[in-house]
Each structure stands twice: as structure tokens, then as C-alpha cells.
Amino acid sequence: MNIVVRGTGAPVVVIPGIQGRWEWMKPGIDALAHRCRVVTYSLSDEPSCGGRFDASTGFACYVEQVREAMDQAGVDRATICGVSYGGLIAAACAARYPERA
């Protein structure tokens, strides 16, 4: 999976909205990276993601993608947030993996 990591400090995972591409959030990611370490990516059903999307698991695939991005970035625990639809993914991830949020 193609992840983007910018900045230093406390880790924050930022999940894009339903449009799926992290680039739509680039100005916000760049601003946030002045204060913390930002981990972001495009949603798994977006071709530029470089990850896998399993339609049979649906929404759960996006939740697992958060965990995979954190693992790939070497982050054990982070603030997890999302824009619009990404907020639902963030909440579901925090519920499923409370020790990581």
C-alpha cells in the first residue's frame, strides 16, 4: 500500500473521505505536518492506493487498511481521524482496535 508520512512528533492518521484520494486533503496534511507526524493514504478501492480491496468484506476492508497503514509506518498508537466518510472509518477502527487509538 502506498502511504504518505509527513512531519515529526505525535502520530496522527488522517483518512480521506468517500472520494478516496489523500491528495484532496494535501493542504490540510501539509499544515498538520508542521505540528505532528501525519500518516495518510488513499482508500483501498482507489487505484492509486497500491493496496487491496476485498468487496466481500466491504467497509471492514477500510478499517483494516488503517491498521495496515499504521503497521507500515511503524506506528503502534495514534490519533485517528478522518474527513467525512473517513470519520466513520476512524470511529470503527478505534472501536475495533482501542489499544491503537
Question: For residue 92, what pLDDT band results from cuts at 50, 70 and 90?
Answer: very high
Query: Does this model's pTM top 0.85?
Result: yes
pLDDT digits (tens, 9 = 90+) for 42-78: 999 888 888 888 888 989 999 999 999 999 999 999 9
User: Quick one: cell of 66?
Assistant: 488503517
- DSSP label of 70: H
The pLDDT of residue 19 is above 90? no
Q: How far apart are the first and last CA of the chain?
A: 21
Mean pLDDT, all residues of the chain: 95
- Separation of alpha carbons 14 and 54, rounded Å: 21
Q: Are 76 and 8 in contact (CB under 8 A)?
A: no
- What pLDDT sits at residue 42? 95
Who's near 33: CB < 8 A, 6+ residues apart?
6, 7
